[in-house]
Amino acid sequence: MALFSKKTTLVHNITYMAIMTAINLIFIVLDTYVPFLMVLLILLLPFVSAVVSYFCQKRYYIIYAVASIGLCMIFNIADTIFYIVPALCSGFVIGLLLDKKIHPFWMILSSTLIEVALTYAFISLINLMTNTDMVETFLTIFHLNEFAFKEELMHLFILFIALTQCSITHFVLLTEIKKLGVETDTRVNSFTPYVIGLFACLVVATVLAFTYRPMSLSFVALSFYFAIFLLIDIILAKRTFAYVLLGITMVSSFIVFVIFFTKIDKPMGFMLFGLFPLAIGITSFIKNILLSKQINN
């Protein structure tokens, strides 16, 4: 039975899911007794579930999920809720979106947001059920419990881990299914949703800066996800006017950043990093408007 291949029979599905359930169990055992491996294990967890979701038949996924949760809870209830359950959910979504051949950008983003949302939900649940503060546990492991801006850092860490998890899972799976002759749709019909997404992140970050400061930097960080994609498009467009415009907007952003960074109290000074994705977003917006006019003419 090939590791990366569609499972069509009941025996193959059950056998494959049993192997992956055992891997989840090994991860939890290692996390329980070898805590310093935690981050590495966290990054790999969604991949295990995504593999099951994509290569096994969807109607059997509930068996895999229930078995993984039940067995892992024997060793560590809090870690099972905090790590395994979100990974099971995001892994299922990844496999589902791969089947639908959604653009990788949106696959990664949607699964990341699901992972983040579940992580926040389960932090509160674990605190209620086991009186275990998962946030303090993380901070203590990395010796950051006395860090002045630990709340902002924790929100960034949750986003970074989720985005890294989902990115690794997607890229590995996309590589493997491509070997099987399965192609995903990487065409972009319009860059407008990407530009809107970038601007929306910065607007939300600005609003949060005045309402709930600790989470504002997370949306600035998320805007870089959109910005990197748009920057690649600008570079690949090979248009001189786009390069010039990008240079002007980036230099202007850098000047503003240097002038005001030391004048704004930390950590809110880090909000100014949003100027750089903003510059890329403006450049992409203008570039696409000018190119569309050239095409129409």
* 129 and 275 together in one domain: no
* 162 and 66 together in one domain: yes
pLDDT exceeds 60 at position 62: yes
pLDDT of residue 138: 65
Is residue 272 situated within a structural domain? yes
* 37 and 158 together in one domain: yes
Taking residues 287-296, report their average pLDDT: 74
Closest CA to 197 of 118, 293, 109: 109
DSSP code string of 78-123: HHIIIIIHHHHHHHHHHHHHHHHT--HHHHHHHHHHHHHHHHHHHH
What share of the chain has pLDDT > 70, as a percent?
Answer: 83
Dist CA 276 CA 220 (whole Å) = 10
Is residue 128 situated within a structural domain? yes
pLDDT of residue 152: 80
pLDDT of residue 176: 73
Taking residues 219-232, report their average pLDDT: 93
User: Mean of the per-residue pLDDT values for the chain?
Assistant: 82
At residue 181 the predicted structure's pLDDT band, cuts being 50, 70 and 90, is: low
* pLDDT greater at residue 292 or residue 61: 61
* pLDDT greater at residue 99 or residue 188: 99
* 24 and 165 together in one domain: yes
* 89 and 14 together in one domain: yes
Domain count, the chain: 2
Last residue of a domain, one of 179, 211, 229: 179
Last residue of a domain, one of 179, 204, 221: 179
Dist CA 53 CA 60 (whole Å) = 9
* 36 and 168 together in one domain: yes
pLDDT tens per residue across span 110-142: 989 988 888 888 777 766 666 666 666 666 666
pLDDT exceeds 70 at position 237: yes
pLDDT of residue 196: 92
The secondary structure element, H or E, covering residue 269 is none
* 148 and 286 together in one domain: no
Q: Containing domain of residue 98, as a range? A: 10-179
For 240, the token pair is 């001189």
pLDDT exceeds 70 at position 145: no
* 64 and 92 together in one domain: yes
pLDDT exceeds 80 at position 289: yes
At residue 277 the predicted structure's pLDDT band, cuts being 50, 70 and 90, is: very high
Phi/psi class of residue 101: alpha, beta or left (left: φ > 0; alpha: ψ in -120 to 50)? Answer: left
pLDDT of residue 123: 77
pLDDT of residue 276: 94
pLDDT tens per residue across span 7-56: 778 888 888 899 899 988 888 888 777 766 666 677 778 888 888 888 88
DSSP code string of 180-216: TT-------S-SHHHHHHHHHHHHHHHHHHHH-HHHH
Taking residues 141-164, report their average pLDDT: 76
Dist CA 228 CA 42 (whole Å) = 24
Dist CA 95 CA 88 (whole Å) = 11
pLDDT of residue 244: 92
* 40 and 158 together in one domain: yes
pLDDT of residue 297: 57
* pLDDT greater at residue 274 or residue 124: 274
pLDDT of residue 132: 62
At residue 261 the predicted structure's pLDDT band, cuts being 50, 70 and 90, is: confident
pLDDT of residue 134: 61
Taking residues 56-68, report their average pLDDT: 90
Last residue of a domain, one of 127, 147, 179: 179
Angle among Cα 119, 123, 129 to the nearest 5 degrees reads 135
Is residue 292 situated within a structural domain? yes
